[in-house]
């Protein structure tokens, strides 16, 4: 049986001599952002999990690693090990296992993007309560779908409701995120935002991400973006560029904005609709001709993962003060 066929919590993983400890987290599977903000008691509850790798410092700064559409992979563990070498604790989040999801590359609607962002914040709340962790120095690094999750988790309109006003992540690094959902009010408060993305990304729109970062800056937030020339999706992986034929993507589809209430605004309409879900918007994108099948991921040269690792580490050292 391959590692991919074994649920993440059931794998024994040691990084930099530190054994990963399973942490259970009481989360939920919201229908959409509106339900999180207005009717959280209606959200189906479930217990997700992840592995905590404690760094050498105590109380320790911590980075939550939120994987993308393929679930937890070797590259995410590689980044966690890099953090540990610097004395930074790492928590690798698994949003898939408890939901009986293996991958979302062919169907992103198996659970909502709101659920992904909610998982990140609930994980923050759970980990911030641990005596070994410095609550003021918890950040999150998300990849692809996980990048979308951390971007939303940093948005105050969402975070204030889930974890309380002024509480939350001190910084986020969004690696090649999907920014197809954006709050009209993009304020992130004091959270530092950095994006690493390739301009040859076929899965997600660099222009959409540029617009999101600019909106954050115009609202008074600190957001930076490094667009890497020629790099593809998941260019941090030290594996050759490969085609994923089953991938369902629509990078050219219009942005779905989110009102202050958490309700989606359909791209063809002007009024928020609390009943709209991810699937409704995906169906719209497909019918409008924006959907495509097949995309590539990976790195073309050893320089790409090296660039990613060096910039990632520089950002986190500055953000966490280590």
Instruction: Provide the token pair at 100.
Output: 């009986």
- For residue 3, the model assigns a pLDDT of 53
Percent of the chain, pLDDT > 90?
97
pLDDT (average), residues 273-289:
97
User: What pLDDT score was predicted for residue 4?
Assistant: 54
CATH code for the domain of 184: 3.40.50.1820
What was the pLDDT predicted at 74? 97
Domains: count for the chain: 1
pLDDT tens digits, 44-92: 999 999 999 999 878 999 999 999 999 999 999 999 999 999 999 999 9
Write down the pLDDT at residue 6: 87
> What pLDDT sits at residue 84?
97
User: 242: exposed, middle or buried (C-beta count within 10 Å: 0-12, 13-18, 19+)?
Assistant: exposed
Q: What is the pLDDT of residue 223?
A: 98
Mean pLDDT of 305-319: 98
Q: Is the pLDDT of residue 27 over 90?
A: yes
Quick: pLDDT tens for 110-138: 999 999 999 999 999 999 999 999 999 99
Output the pLDDT for position 70. 93
Boundaries of domain holding 244: 3-320
Mean pLDDT calculated for residue range 95-101 = 97
64 touches 80 (CB < 8 A)? no
SS (H, E, C) the chain: CCHHHCCHHHCCCEECCEECEEEEEEEECCCCHHHHHHCHHHCCEEEEEEEEECCCCCCEEEEEEECCCCCCCHHHHHHHHHHHHCCCEEEEEECCHHHCCCCCCCCCCCCCHHHHHHHHHHHHHHHHCCCCEEEEEEEEEEECHHHHHHHHHHCHHHHHHHHCCCCCCCEEEEECCCCCEEECCCCCCCCEEEEEEECCCCCCCHHHHHHHHHHHHHCCCEEEEEEECCCCECCCCCCECEEEEEEEECCCCCCEEECCCCCEECCCCCCEECCCCHHHHHHHHHHCCCCEEEEEECECCCHHHHHHHHHHHHHHHHHHCC
Whether residue 59 is preceded by a cis peptide bond, meaning omega within 30 degrees of 0, is yes
pLDDT category at 2 given cuts 50, 70, 90 is: very low
């Amino acid at each position: 049986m391959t590692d991919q066929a074994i649920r993440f919590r059931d794998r024994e993983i040691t990084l930099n001599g530190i054994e990963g400890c399973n942490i259970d987290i009481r989360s939920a599977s919201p229908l959409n952002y509106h339900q999180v903000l207005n009717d959280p008691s209606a959200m189906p509850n479930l217990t997700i999990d992840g592995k905590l790798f404690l760094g050498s410092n105590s109380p320790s700064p911590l980075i939550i690693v939120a994987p993308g559409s393929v679930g937890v992979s070797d590259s995410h563990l590689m980044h966690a090990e890099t953090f540990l070498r610097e004395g930074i604790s790492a928590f690798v989040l698994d949003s898939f296992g408890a939901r009986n999801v293996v991958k979302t590359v062919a169907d992103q609607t198996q659970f909502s993007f709101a659920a992904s962002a909610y998982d990140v914040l609930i994980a923050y709340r759970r980990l911030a309560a641990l005596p070994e962790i410095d609550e003021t120095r918890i950040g999150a690094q998300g990849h692809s779908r996980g990048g979308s999750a951390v971007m939303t988790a940093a948005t105050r309109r969402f975070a204030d409701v889930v974890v309380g006003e002024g509480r939350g992540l001190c910084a986020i690094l969004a690696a090649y995120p999907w920014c197809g959902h954006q709050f009209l009010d993009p304020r992130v408060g004091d959270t530092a935002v950095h994006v690493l993305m390739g301009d040859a990304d076929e899965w997600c729109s660099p222009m959409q991400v540029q617009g999101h970062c600019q909106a954050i800056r115009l609202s008074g937030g600190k957001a930076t973006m490094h667009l890497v020339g020629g790099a593809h999706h998941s260019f941090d992986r030290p594996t050759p560029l490969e085609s994923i034929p089953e991938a369902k993507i629509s990078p050219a589809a219009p942005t779905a904005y989110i009102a202050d209430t958490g309700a989606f605004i359909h791209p063809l309409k002007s009024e928020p609709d609390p009943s709209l879900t991810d699937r409704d918007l995906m169906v719209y994108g497909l019918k409008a001709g924006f959907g495509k099948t097949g995309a590539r991921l990976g790195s073309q040269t050893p320089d790409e993962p090296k660039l990613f690792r060096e910039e990632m580490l520089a950002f986190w050292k500055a953000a966490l003060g280590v």
